[in-house]
Structure 1
């Protein structure tokens, strides 16, 4: 019995490819396992370039979450992360469809207690940096890379344990990931890797240093981002999440003007002070948000129990809750 070399028997190649191009991302993750021919087509970089060119591509958000290996032990204290081992997992969220797809677990990874884990997107790959502690000596940080197109993991070269807790990883471009250690927040915006240092005396965050990737040098930045809990940037826009009082969190967008301090926001209908505009509010849920991620058209704020999506545009934002 001969195996068909056609994408879809009975259909011209162009029409068959058109059908695959129109599949949502989560369906592509399944379709690449249907046949060898489909896998070759769907895992080809040219296929995704064509999806983008024809307008069928959509944003996909990668979210880290953990599976507690001791279900009877639960604590909100981050210090417990280094005492009790848990498994690190990744989920992909499609804002257009609201569908979550869980990524396969990292194969063969031992479950050491984890002091921190961070992720950055580099092209079609996700880079995970896992800082482990075996309870006796500090271990090298593991590096694992997940190819979103192929759906496969590979292990990268381990990093020396130079970065401590609260380190962060962000992608700067097609083949680069920047890291910052210490009790800082980080984001990549306008071609620069921005490190937000906590100002102890003023009890707020300020943008202390920026690394200009094209120029290859650091420079000082005096823009203040007061009271930020987490920050994100996308498509040249910068966002932050801060305490809004009354068990609410405010999501703000930087629109320029002033000295860049958060200050007081006038209203929820476009009024700004010191360059920040309130986009919306979300419930605090009793837990501090761990991070936020942004894309063209939306923002996600996550904590250990839930993820909130704030859609940007139109007559305002709408928050949607999704349990992790």
Structure 2
């Protein structure tokens, strides 16, 4: 290509680029909003999803069978004191549970599903303690008698007491342990800092071995260096399964369906999480005064710019009171607001 042709091509690219920037800047703001999307019935969408024919079944089954060759290695890693962390594209629930039912048949196993909307972590710890207690009694490694009769029920103990028992020096060797499987340890019910700290403390107990899966790309941000290398002590395994998230997806409202409160919360969450931190923090009582005092906005123009985002997505509406003043209000039910705040904070 001659130099003149190259220069002309570069000039044409530059001219088109700046022309596009100019047109975009001069164009009107889009009036489209989430509420304009033509949503379908949730049951109808789920039925359509169920009827989708799976593809590459043979290849996926071959891939799943190939992982069985690693089961003995995974058991060895667990017995060596590490936790197993499975990551990769696709649901790993069936893979982990198959591993547990075949390779961990000689051990007690507790399964926690992090994709559920709520998980009682204290009940999980109490169940682990009960199973460990049963193992210790069967192996007759501790003195029974009056101690077992007067033992306080595990479900009435505090979380710290349960963790102390799980980490207690009951045995000289580490062969007596309970396996804790956490499907989606990065799930919505387990993402908060306190829950992750408790999970890390449980995983660090001498008589607990954890097998977990992650699916969110930012899941490692849940942990600090101590949690990863000392408490969870993860041994990372890349195990893409390409399996659909059928079970996990059943517990989440679909964003493109009519689901009443759940849909309003989902829509609101998307909008709020896309805003700048200052826009997300704005209260609505004595709005401008408080925002100015908190240095969230410096002028009424800035405040209106923030409010435009809310108004466009119908998270905030305006109506006149008896004095003729414009008042802002949130057109969401109390239940929707409560769920929204739980999702955000």
Larger Rg: 2
TM-score by length of 1: 0.26
Structure (1/2) with the larger strand percentage? 1
Structure (1/2) with the larger helix percentage? 2
TM-score by length of 2: 0.25
